[in-house]
Amino acid sequence: MLNKAAQKSIAHAVSANFSSQVEFLSGIVRAKSPNPYTPQDSPLDEPVEKEVADLIFEKLSEYGFSPRYIGPSKNRANVVVEWGNKRARNSLMLNGHMDTIPPEGNDVISPYSGSVRSGKLHGLGSLDMKGTLSCYLYAAKALKDAGIKLAGKLILAFVVDEESGSCSAYGTQYLLEKGIVPRACIIGEHGSKYVRTGQRGVYRFKLVVKGESVHTGVSAWENGEKGRNAIADMARAINALQDLEIPYKASRTFPGRRPVFTFPTKVVGGSAMNVVPDQCTAYGDVRLMPGNSDSQVKLLIVEKLQKLSIDYEIVDMMFVPAVEIDTKEPIVEFLQKEAKEVLGYVPETKGSGPGTDGWMLIKRDVPTVFGFGPDGSGEHGRGEWVELSSLEKITEIYARTIASFLA
């Protein structure tokens, strides 16, 4: 529990630094970091987030912190800073991604403007989630300015390659494998109405069906001696998979939801109008509930396809498991309590979609909040923005939560 004097000095420091925070956020929004890649082709040698990483690194250094670049390559390095009692067993990580989705063609406002108009800061990534990154940095700065001493260790992790599908080995996963494993974690994805205590999972795969290619004019095809139509076989596979149901247990985090199997979402096949196609590929997308796995879905697919005697292969594209935490986890309760003091209401707990690296932490038994951050909007084609008054409040809530969780 923070005493009143500490609460006051934190609030004062957040507000005294806020114009610098807005200027810093403008800068990292203008620093482009669109990530158009998939988990399979995200390159190690392209500086996707590097400009943002360098700005964060410089600002942390300027404020007297000791940031480090930790990553699989120079161009895809995460920025990590530890502060407080570095040998403490109790630790808290605030984790957020530096990349954004690619700009959309119909974005009517300049996607990288970073400009401020009537209390809103505009630009791609301002809400998802560079605004949050600025809150992390200025929460730490406020604690420092307010003279707060932490008994535990604070870890700020600014990570790469999340928008490729929240299953990259370069970002959060890389840090965990290097032994940077906190006692608890907050991923401050936007929205202050809810504390997200779970996320649904996703499994994407492609089904490759093989046939035998032959010219449609030859007698071997006419007589059924040669050739097999891979697209016709795929049609049978598609039919067979239409009624596939994935068993699941009801979840408290996702009331009323169930696994959703969609196949196909995309089909590719054939080479010419007069050639029997020797290959057809179709993609599938499966939304998962806690307890569901990729191998479970694959077994169910195989069970259906076995009966068809077709030549096929299932190739994994990505898998993010559904995860949830107990809503009574200390990190949830600390965050709710501090949010109530600053916002005047308790944000309820709720589940979310599969969009964060949080499952990597859950796999290592680290209780993780999957979302609680600033408010704003990102409607398609209308530009993305973050509300400045909310940004300031969230910074204060993070600072108070760090101070009380690590007291």
What sign does the dihedral 355-356-357-362 (CA atoms) show? negative
Nearer to Zn ion, 305 or 322 (CB): 322
Strand pairing report for 91-97 and 184-187 = parallel
Residue 58 and residue 50: Cα distance in Å, rounded? 12
Least separation in angstroms between residue 395's CB and Zn ion is: 18
Report the residue number, 128 or 338, with the smaller CB distance to Zn ion: 128
Nearer to Zn ion, 264 or 354 (CB): 354
Burial of 390 (0-12, 13-18, 19+ CB in 10 A): buried
78: part of which helix (H) or strand (E)? strand 78-84
Nearer to Zn ion, 229 or 395 (CB): 395
Count the site residues for Zn ion by CB under 5 A.
Answer: 2
Range 4-33, binding Zn ion (CB under 5 A): none
- Which residue in the shown chain puts its C-beta closest to Zn ion? 128
Instruction: For the CB of residue 126, give the shortest distance to Zn ion in the complex, in Å.
Output: 12
Spatial CA neighbour of 24 closest among 402, 388, 382: 388
- Find the shortest distance in angstroms from Cβ 34 to Zn ion: 13
Cross-strand bridge partners of residue 282: 207, 267
Closest CB to Zn ion among residues 183, 196: 196
Please say which residue, 126 or 395, places its beta carbon nearer to Zn ion: 126
Q: Which residues of 321-339 are buried (b: 16+ CB within 10 A; e: fewer)?
A: bbbbbebebebbebbbebb
Angstrom distance (rounded) from CA 271 to CA 276: 8
Which of these, 117, 100, 106, 119, lies nearest to 30 by C-alpha position?
A: 100
Q: Which is nearer to Zn ion, 7 or 173 (CB)?
A: 173
Residue (129 or 214) nearer to Zn ion, CB: 129
Residues 237-266 that bind Zn ion (CB under 5 A): none
Q: Give me the least distance between CB of 121 and Zn ion, in Å please.
A: 17
In whole angstroms, how close is the CB of 95 to Zn ion at the nearest point? 11
Minimum CB–partner distance for residue 97 and Zn ion (Å): 6
- Residue 206 beta carbon to Zn ion: minimum distance, rounded to whole angstroms: 25
- Which is closer to Zn ion, CB of 161 or CB of 278? 161
Sequence-ordered list of residues with C-beta below 8 angstroms from that of 209, at least 6 positions apart, any chain: 230, 231, 233, 234, 237, 279, 280, 281, 282, 310, 311, 312
Which ranges in 31-70 belong to alpha helices (H)? 50-62
How far, in Å, CA of 22 to CA of 16, rounded?
12
- Indicate whether 82 belongs to the interface with Zn ion (CB under 5 A): no
Angle between helices 230-241 and 294-306 (to 10 degrees): 120
The phi, psi pair for 157, rounded to 5°, reads -120, 110
User: In the numeric block, which tokens belong to residue 398?
Assistant: 């993070």
Query: Which residue, 321 or 355, is less far from Zn ion as judged by CB?
Result: 355
Q: How far is the CB of 101 from Zn ion (least distance, A)?
A: 9
Cβ–Cβ under 8 Å, residues 364 and 389: no
Q: Closest Cα partner for 264 from 248, 282, 286, 245? A: 282
Task: Kindly state the smallest distance separating residue 96's Cβ from Zn ion, in Å.
Answer: 8
Footprint of Zn ion on 114-153 (CB under 5 A): 128-129
Smallest separation (angstroms) from Zn ion to the CB of 35: 11
The residues of the shown chain that bind Zn ion, judged by CB under 5 A, are 128-129
